Structure 1
Amino acid sequence: MRKISASYIFTGKEKLLKNGVLLLDDEGYVVEVQDTKGNLREIPMLEYYNGIICPGFINAHCHLELSYMRGMLQKTENTVGFIKQMLQKRGSLNGNIIEEIARADKEMQLNGIVACGDICNTEDSFITKAKSRISYYNFIEVLGLKDNEAKIKIEKAKQLAISAISSDAGPASIAPHASYSVSLSLYNEIKLIAECNNSIISFHNQESLEEDALFGNKKNELYKYLEIFGLNKNTFPKTNKSSFGSIAQYLPKKNNILFIHNVFTKKEDVELAQKLFPKHFWIFCPKSNLHISNCLPDINIFKDENRICLGTDSLASNNTLSILEEMKLLQANFPLLSIETLLQWGTLNGAKALQIAHIFGSFETGKKPGVNLIYNLDLQQLKFNRKTKVRIIASC
């Protein structure tokens, strides 16, 4: 039995317990959380830490297979610039892609991440995932703008999903890439599969300002670039709505659905999501957003904080795979965000989104969520700073 206490314990549910006590059994499962009301008495064999104890972090969005692109891509002002760089340099590593993936997985572990929703376009990450301590959920990403290729794209995705599962890389589901990269035929195929399997869906949403124009009558930079891949005037309906408002009808309504990025999401889009998708989650990857578009989501319009999660995106657009670093950036830019709120976004909410909250995300009896210590922070004001770090107290 381990008895762990700290300046504060974050239970996973927007609550900080001052001088609380966490009891773990010998295998790391939660036995009990004790609220001392701040009055910690002498307890034999007690481990005490200066800082905040919290459950292991959940990285709700990553592209582990792109880890070899660390530092390759320059900052851009929009998605087109980023995509162009990526396609030019993808596969150009002189070293070993698998080794870079393993290195990134280890980095996430050291940063206190215990579970990850990961985008897959290849099998490259499966070997690492099968050996990892991190619990992965694999989103097999599908994209294609030509209606006559939809069946072929789906069959390839099915084979990749089977490979993920048979490799012990974790569960897998087929997911559309983004509003601007999936034909209506492909949306319909993905929706049917998701509804039949009640699978989790991931969807890159409104990462670029240019997406909305595709559903109007404007030929912007993104439109012209996508013409290379088969985009034409008949690919998408001309709704004159936002990209989210235009595509929402083609997405499954009853599944857990993760909307990724949401940099240019508006209040009416949030309201539509609340109306149509009872199991939706908003995933923010702020460091990546600054790298690709130099913008952050308007946090204030996302009222239901129980549906907000955090992700790192890939090392193609980020220099770390750290949920703590994402939280630090958000608090620096949105100082009214409480540390409790940010910690819930980085733990329990992500576990709910990936349907693993029965194991991870909070300190509740019978769970084994891992235990992180956040230290070198302002414990008086409960604020992160540049020196704030995380280390693992108990593995999951």
Structure 2
Amino acid sequence: MKRFGANYIFPVCGPPIRNGIVETNDSGEILRIIEPNSDFREIHSTQFFNGVIVPGFINSHCHLELSHLKGLKVKKPGIAGFIEAVTEQRESSHELISKSIAEAINQAYTSGTVAVADICNSASTLPHKQKSDLYFHNFIELFGINPDVAEKTFSHGLSVYNDFTKHYPESTSLTPHSTYSLSKQLWKKIYKHIPGQGKNIVSIHYGESKAEYEFLSTGGGPLFNRYTNANIPFLPPQGQSPASVITKYIPKQTQALLVHNTFASPEELESLNSWFNSLTLVACPESNLLIENSIPPLDSFEAFGFSIAIGTDSLASTSSLSMLNQILIIQKHFPSINFSTTLRWATINGAKALNIDNKYGTLEVGKKPGIVLIDHFDFTKMRPTEKSEAKRLI
């Protein structure tokens, strides 16, 4: 049995508890939440920490297999330039890729993450995940705008999907990359596959750039130039929008994570929220600022009542896999959003999006959500500071 106490405990499922204590068994399952009015015998042998205790974080969007691209050199601004840089610099030695993945998983673990929604284009992360105590939902991502290779692309994706389902049968999904990067032929193949897979969850890059809207609407712009310059055969779209693509090719019974939403309007997302049985908007603020020098209107999204979660994205577009770092960026850009709200986004909302809220996301008896300390906490403003770090306690 272990007991962890701090100045405040944020259970997420209820208000903060001042001088509260979390009692767990040796495997991390919560046995009791002890209120501060208990007598001294209740707090005997408790480890007390200066700071706040929170549940483990749910990283709702990551690309672990791109970890070797940390510090990626991007020559051109915007999403088209970023994609070009990733494509050009992605190839590397097996040793470097493997070492970088292992280090990234360890960084996520030690900084308080307990579950990761990870985008996979290959099985390179699989052996490392099997050694980790983290929970992974593996989104096997498909993209390819060339209609002539749709069958080959889908077959490769299905092969990777099968590799993962051998070890993660309930937490592996085939998913489209985005609204603009698939041919009609590839979309149709994914559409047929989605209803029969695992938990029927997809994760799609959505509204990440203005170029996405321009390309779908007119067939032109930076993405047109990117595909043309790469000599990729494709049929330019006309008269479409990201939302129209989603509702055409993603069944409404699907549990959907829309990632980024940097240039998506609340009204457009409201229509998609009505379309899907379950929709979560995933914010990756540091990545958005790096790639498009913009950040989605998270305060408006919250006011509209959307379910919001937080992801780090890959180390190609973020400085670390610390979820607390993403919270601090949100605090800086949206000072009116309180810490309890961003903590909800970083924990229980992500857990619900991945259907793992029976175990993760809140400090409740019977759960094994991970116990995380955030130090250097400002108790006057009730929020973490730039000096704060998140450290896993269990």
Q: TM-score, normalising length from structure 1? A: 0.92
Report the secondary structure of 2:205's partner residue: strand
What RMSD over aligned residues (CA atoms) do the two structures have, in Å?
A: 2.0
1:335 aligns with 2:338: no
In the superposition, relative to structure 1, how do residues 75 and 340 fare at CA in structure 2: closer, same or farther (>3 Å)? farther
* 1:27 to partner: Cα distance: 2.1
Q: Which moved more, 1:217-226 or 1:49-58?
A: 217-226
* 1:212 to partner: Cα distance: 0.8
Where does residue 309 of structure 1 map in the other structure? 309
In the superposition, relative to structure 1, how do residues 156 and 246 fare at CA in structure 2: closer, same or farther (>3 Å)? closer
Query: How far does the alpha carbon of each residue in 1:90-147 deviate from its partner, in whole angstroms, 9 at most, with x for none?
Result: 1145952111110111111111111101011111111101101111111000011133
Query: How far does the alpha carbon of each residue in 1:239-281 deviate from its partner, in whole angstroms, 9 at most, with x for none?
Result: 4xx4224433211211211101111111221211221012110
Matched residue type, 1:284: A
* 1:14 to partner: Cα distance: 5.7
In 2, Cα distance between equivalents of 1:333 and 1:77: 21
In 1, Cα distance between equivalents of 2:299 and 2:105: 32
In 1, Cα distance between equivalents of 2:176 and 2:330: 27
Matched residue type, 1:353: A
Where does residue 204 of structure 2 map in the other structure? 203
Q: How does 1:375-394 map to 2 (within 5 A)?
A: 375-394=375-394
In 2, Cα distance between equivalents of 1:306 and 1:180: 24
* 1:224 to partner: Cα distance: 2.1
Query: How far does the alpha carbon of each residue in 1:18-64 deviate from its partner, in whole angstroms, 9 at most, with x for none?
Result: 2222221232101122344xx56532222222211011111111100
In the superposition, relative to structure 1, how do residues 69 and 170 fare at CA in structure 2: closer, same or farther (>3 Å)? farther
Matched residue type, 1:244: A
Report if aligned partners of 2:123, 2:163 keep a CA contact under 8 Å in 1.
yes
Where does residue 17 of structure 2 map in the other structure? 17
Matched residue type, 2:172: A
Aligned positions, number: 388
Where does residue 230 of structure 1 map in the other structure? 233
Report the secondary structure of 1:96's partner residue: helix
Q: TM-score, normalising length from structure 2? A: 0.93
Report if aligned partners of 2:299, 2:337 keep a CA contact under 8 Å in 1.
no
In the superposition, relative to structure 1, how do residues 163 and 106 fare at CA in structure 2: closer, same or farther (>3 Å)? same
5+ long unaligned stretches in structure 2? none
Where does residue 139 of structure 1 map in the other structure? 139
Q: How does 1:110-259 map to 2 (within 5 A)?
A: 110-167=110-167, 171-197=171-197, 198-217=199-218, 219-227=220-228, 228-233=231-236, 236-239=237-240, 242-259=241-258
In 2, Cα distance between equivalents of 1:95 and 1:188: 37
In 1, Cα distance between equivalents of 2:26 and 2:203: 36
In 2, Cα distance between equivalents of 1:376 and 1:78: 35
Work out the percentage of aligned pairs sharing the same amino acid.
32
Where does residue 296 of structure 1 map in the other structure? 295
5+ long unaligned stretches in structure 1? none
In 1, Cα distance between equivalents of 2:350 and 2:299: 19
Report if aligned partners of 1:118, 1:138 keep a CA contact under 8 Å in 2.
yes
* 1:75 to partner: Cα distance: 7.9
In the superposition, relative to structure 1, how do residues 389 and 75 fare at CA in structure 2: closer, same or farther (>3 Å)? farther
Q: How does 1:22-171 map to 2 (within 5 A)?
A: 22-36=22-36, 39=37, 41-42=39-40, 43-74=43-74, 77-92=77-92, 96-167=96-167, 171=171
Query: How far does the alpha carbon of each residue in 1:281-331 deviate from its partner, in whole angstroms, 9 at most, with x for none?
Result: 010111111111111011123135561111111111111011000000000
Matched residue type, 1:230: P
Query: How far does the alpha carbon of each residue in 1:203-259 deviate from its partner, in whole angstroms, 9 at most, with x for none?
Result: 0001111111123235212122223322323xx3524xx422443321121121110
